[in-house]
Amino acid sequence: MASLIGFYSLVFGLFFSFLIILFSIKNLRNTNVFNNNLISLTFLQFLFVIISFFGLVISFINSDFSNATVFNHSHTTIPLFYKISGTWGNHEGSLLLWLVVLTLFIFLFLLKSKNQTKQYRILTLLFQQIIIIGFFIFIIKTSNPFDYIFPVPNEGLGLNPILQDPALAIHPPILYLGYVGSSIIFSSTLAATSTNYISKEWAKHIKQWILISWIFLTLGILLGSIWAYYELGWGGFWFWDPVENVSLMPWLALTTLFHCILVLEKRLALTSWIVILSISTFTLSMSGTFLVRSGILNSVHTFANDPDRGLFILIFLFCLIFLSLFVFLFFFKAKNENTYNFFWLSKETSILINNWFMMYFLTVVLVGTVYPIFLEVITSEKISVGPPFYNKLIIPFLVPFLFAMAIGPKLKWIKSDLKNKFNLLFFLIISFFISALIVKKFNVNFLVNTILMTSVFYLFFSTLRDFFISKLKNLAQNVAHFGFSLLILSILLNNIFSSEIIANLKVGDTYETEKFKISFENIKQKKEQNFEVIIGKFNIEFLNGDVETLRPELRIYNQPNIVTSEADIKTNLLKDSFITMNLVQNQNYFNIRYQIKPFMIWIWLSVLLISFGGLKSLFKKKYEN
Amino acid sequence: MYGKKVKLRFFFVLLILFILILSVFLILKSLEENVVYFQSPTEIKTLSEIDKKKIRVGGMVKTNSVSVNEKEVKFIITDLKNEINVTYSGAIPNLFSEGKGVVAEGYLKDKNFFLATKILAKHDENYMPPEVKAALEEK
């Protein structure tokens, strides 16, 4: 029943798209004032999509296996929370979530843009409806979440156990708010281009939307990263896996766009660049969806390998790119060209430098992600591009990037000189000595690490100083940049000082190293709602007498019959102790991995700080110099 | 002859061009060095010489071939035509088991022995690395 209502309200939602387009065009031609009925219509469309979405949620809650999506991704014994999160833990449901966010955003946009011109608002609505229609057709034609199965099965196939996790339950909605938020930026840019409205006022208005999707995208990536850290059992937080890369690319584009918008807001410059960036941000979000959904990249996000779906997204993507290029080439009118002459030492130049670096990073990630795909198509050779590629290409360029990030915000618009040269130099020397001391003490690759750490500490100290001196004048920027320095610093220290041991142990065995002794005390078995669990007990004795007890788990799920390991992590401000165990088939040995990961908590906290910076900026009334 | 502005612009364009070429060169160069090639046991058998570079070997874990001691795990990867012995000391992913697909990353000792440094995690029980699928289908 819920499925039936869900399906029909989906069809109604599509019907409303056409209604909206009809009314918009009428409104565009006839009157001078915006027809407020359009807002009601978009609200109704959103309502129908959300009803459809809840129809699917209810089918999941009731374990209604006459619905193919529920049958494929649920089971009666799954806890209620994961039944609900299972709704978007699959291809069909997550696309429905895309649509919910798409319609929600355009509704909010119309509410929030009351003092904009009629033409601009209607055109934004029209462009957004084109995207919405594309998704409606995609869902109804190739991935209907309400397909009916007859005869009705008694039991479902179950949800992939590694998706049964709190962080992953909220990761998709948050990430989607970021991804799909960029659709509004896309539509609004196209509308502003065709009405010749790319201006300071537009910049002020669209900045809010850029910030919103940027914050959600940042948080979404953070959640995915935290999940990978404790659930996949590798103890890492970023693997340069293609699916991670496709979320990083729109983030890089969005961050660049945000910095550019500041220039537009102040100086009415870089207009064409901003249009290109807005288009590419959304295009990157879409291609990300295409790459992971088409089965070209294999990962936990590949819910089903259906070539039709991939083809559809690809065609849709090309249509959108074509449309946006058409609008850009034929409607874009460059504003006053004089403003393009930037003085070399000014805030806008430093933002331009930021842009160059960001574009470079984006290119590296893009090449690393798609090169293997192209190579396989062309030469049928199968390769993979691993972390060394990214490290080698990104780390050297981080150094000047970090320096620019420290100095840039101190400069003034238009023309500036460096005040406090003494301070700048002083911080440089201090940072260098601290880094040299740290690196020297631990006997790692001296040159590279010292230089990198110096630049990180430089940004760290100068943002810290600004924080206390500038009396919170530019808190948002300050916090975000400080967060970034903290992030790179924690990652760096984490990389240098992480240590791990891997051993195969039987119950009762001990394993000794120079610094600690691990003893495998015992195992216990327990039965939970939809899995059986083996809990190991490990005592770790350190040389200084500290004793830690860790209890990693092995979970054997009933449906699908999969074993997963749950890491046990003891976190404190300085380090994480991280242990996983795994049973080797038909053997008495457990494969134990014990890791000491310093400053893990700071990696998460610094990303939170960065997004807090964005949040602060969102609620700031006006941007100060 | 030319105004100062024109000269400045010329240098600017030159600088951008230079940076562009440099970054493209850097990217391509590192790609060449850091790419890991995938090979099946059969392909390894037909190698004319043993490469010192890191490679990936994929196939199925042969039934009854896994043996474990305190330090390492030994098993055989097969593509049902040829086999290769693998020695590995490191973390074993959950889904590593006999009769299932596996990808090991590491170095060849010779055509019959492979020293793995990493066994790749896979995300669900039906998942077969695309390389393995292709290797298994080829036969």
Q: Give the domain ranges of chain A.
A: 1-164, 499-601
Helices (H), A271-346: 271-293, 307-331
Inspect the interface and report whether the beta carbons of B93 and A582 lie closer than 8 Å. yes
Mean pLDDT for all residues in chain A: 86
Residues B96-127 have pLDDT tens digits of 878 777 888 889 888 889 999 888 755 444 55
Angle between helix A118-142 and A166-194 (nearest 10): 130
Q: What pLDDT is recorded for position A619?
A: 85
User: Quick one: tokens of A79?
Assistant: 């806890």
Q: What is the rounded distance in angstroms from the CA atom of residue B104 to the CA atom of residue B77? A: 9
Q: Are A368 and A245 in contact (CB under 8 A)?
A: yes
Q: What pLDDT is recorded for position B126?
A: 53
- Find how far residue A527's CA is from the centre of its chain: 35
Q: State mean pLDDT over A17-42.
A: 89
Q: What is the rounded distance in angstroms from the CA atom of residue A314 to the CA atom of residue A306? A: 13
What per-residue string of b and e applies to A103-137 under the rule 16 or more CB within 10 Å gives b? bbbbbebbeebeebbebbbbbbbbbbbbbbbbbbe
Residues A587-625 have pLDDT tens digits of 778 888 899 999 999 999 999 999 999 998 888 755 443
Its ipTM equals 0.72
Look at strands A568-571 and B73-78 and give their pairing.
Answer: unpaired
Element (H, E) at A306: none
Yes or no: domain B37-138 corresponds to CATH 2.40.50.140: yes
CA atoms within 13 A on the CB side of B130: 15
The highest-confidence range among A71-85, A610-624, B24-38, B42-56, by mean pLDDT, is: A71-85
Nearest to A162 among B34, B123, B134 (CB): B123
Q: What is the rounded distance in angstroms from the CA atom of residue A27 to the CA atom of residue A35? A: 6
Q: What pLDDT is recorded for position A336?
A: 56
- Restricting to B residues 70-129, those with a Cβ less than 8 Å away from any Cβ of A are 70-73, 89-98, 121, 123-125, 127, 129
Q: Are B79 and B60 in contact (CB under 8 A)?
A: yes
Strands (E) in A399-527, as ranges, are 499-505, 510-512, 516-527
Q: What pLDDT is recorded for position A613?
A: 92
Inspect the interface and report whether the beta carbons of B127 and A298 lie closer than 8 Å. yes
Q: Are A275 and A101 in contact (CB under 8 A)?
A: no
| Closest alpha carbon to B135 in B72, B56, B20 | B56
Q: What pLDDT is recorded for position A469?
A: 80
Q: What is the rounded distance in angstroms from the CA atom of residue A557 to the CA atom of residue A77? A: 10
Nearest to B34 among A160, A385, A505 (CB): A385
Q: What is the rounded distance in angstroms from the CA atom of residue A368 to the CA atom of residue A383? A: 11
Q: What pTM did the predictor assign?
A: 0.89
Q: What is the rounded distance in angstroms from the CA atom of residue A60 to the CA atom of residue A65? A: 8
User: Quick one: tokens of A332?
Assistant: 């874009």
CA atoms within 13 A on the CB side of A47: 7
Residues A87-143 have pLDDT tens digits of 988 888 989 999 999 999 999 999 988 888 899 999 999 999 999 999 999 999 888
Look at strands B35-39 and B55-61 and give their pairing.
Answer: parallel
Farthest-apart Cα atoms in chain B, separation = 83
Under 8 Å CB pairs connecting chains A and B tally to 111
Tokens 């201090």 sit on residue = A430
Tokens 């997963």 sit on residue = A564
Q: What is the rounded distance in angstroms from the CA atom of residue A291 to the CA atom of residue A506? A: 43
Q: State mean pLDDT over A454-461.
A: 91
Distances (CA, A) of A130 to A106, A124, A383, A464: 12, 10, 38, 46
Which residues of chain B make contact with A386, given a CB cutoff of 8 A? Answer: 34, 36
Nearest to A584 among B37, B68, B131 (CB): B68
Amino acid at A376: E
Residue B32 has pLDDT above 90, yes or no: no
Q: What pLDDT is recorded for position A615?
A: 92
Q: State mean pLDDT over A279-299.
A: 77
Mean pLDDT for all residues in chain B: 78
Inspect the interface and report whether the beta carbons of B89 and A502 lie closer than 8 Å. yes
Q: Which residue has the higher pLDDT, A549 or A241?
A: A549
Distances (CA, A) of B71 to A224, A501, B74, B76, B97: 33, 11, 10, 17, 18
Q: Are A343 and A413 in contact (CB under 8 A)?
A: no
Which residues of chain A make contact with B93, given a CB cutoff of 8 A? Answer: 233, 582
Smallest CA–CA distance from B20 into chain A, residue: A360
Q: State mean pLDDT over A73-84.
A: 91
Q: Give the domain ranges of chain B.
A: 1-35, 37-138
Amino acid at A281: T
Angle at B93 between CA A219 and CA A584, to 5 degrees: 150
Which DSSP category does A161 fall into? G
Inspect the interface and report whether the beta carbons of A585 and B30 lie closer than 8 Å. no
